Amino acid sequence: MVSDIQRLLESLGELPEPLARPVLVVVSGLPGTGKSYFSKRLAERLPFFVLESDALRKILFSTPSYSSQESSQLFRVIHLLLRELLKKGIPLILDATNLSERFREHLYGIVDRLNVKLVMVRVEAPPDVVYQRLEHRAGDLENKSDADWSVYRRMMSSVDKIQRNHYVVDTSQDINPVIEKIVREVKRA
């Protein structure tokens, strides 16, 4: 586990300046809804580091199986990495599906224990838009996700309502109003 955290830390590159009270933005949504796009756009406005679960998975597992055991190990390591970086004051955006409230509870615990501000965002898009995105994703070398339409459809049944205050953004529309609201909230922290 320690070596996994070390591998991820070494892969991160340059981190933003630490803050006295860092913020964790958790971006949640089904594959193809635009989580990574939204996270990158938000990071253009805030000096936050984006932790993208798809990219981190490929660092830990050269040929990912996406098994439940692999995912459990990945998120245990991501949670430890979050704690480590937040303790150092690094502001973060976590780009991961985060569909289950049971799994989000781990994130709530981390921010509560560390007294870190949490901003939750649910990213969505109409199914026909998601379908088109997933169909065109295959040849995109920038994209780290292997999820396709069948994965999207399978995961639809595992979406739980976010129990804490959160923003909702439809990435098939103008995302700037939600980004502006988050920037204002973060600056009040």
Tokens of 127: 């199914």
What's the rounded Cα separation, in Å, for the pair 148 and 156? 13
pLDDT given for residue 137 in this prediction = 67
Is 148's pLDDT higher than 70?
Answer: no
Mean of pLDDT values over 87-103? 92
Q: Which domains occur in the chain, in start order?
A: 2-12+21-188 (3.40.50.300)
Query: Phi and psi at residue 38, in whole multiples of 5°?
Result: -60, -45
Average pLDDT over residues 16-30: 94
Minimal CA–CA distance to 33: which of 78, 83, 95, 86?
Answer: 95
Mean pLDDT of 112-132: 93
Q: Is the pLDDT of residue 143 over 60?
A: no
pTM: 0.89
Residues 6+ apart with CB under 8 A from 183: 42, 45, 46
N- to C-terminal Cα separation, the chain? 32
Residue 41's CB: how many other CB atoms inside 10 A? 16
pLDDT at residue 149, as a whole number: 67
Q: What is the pLDDT of residue 134?
A: 80
Q: Which residue has the tokens 């199914």?
A: 127
The pLDDT value recorded for residue 33 is 92
**DSSP conformation letters of 123-188:** EE--HHHHHHHHHHHTT-TT------HHHHHHHGGGPPPP-S-EEEEETTS--HHHHHHHHHHHHH
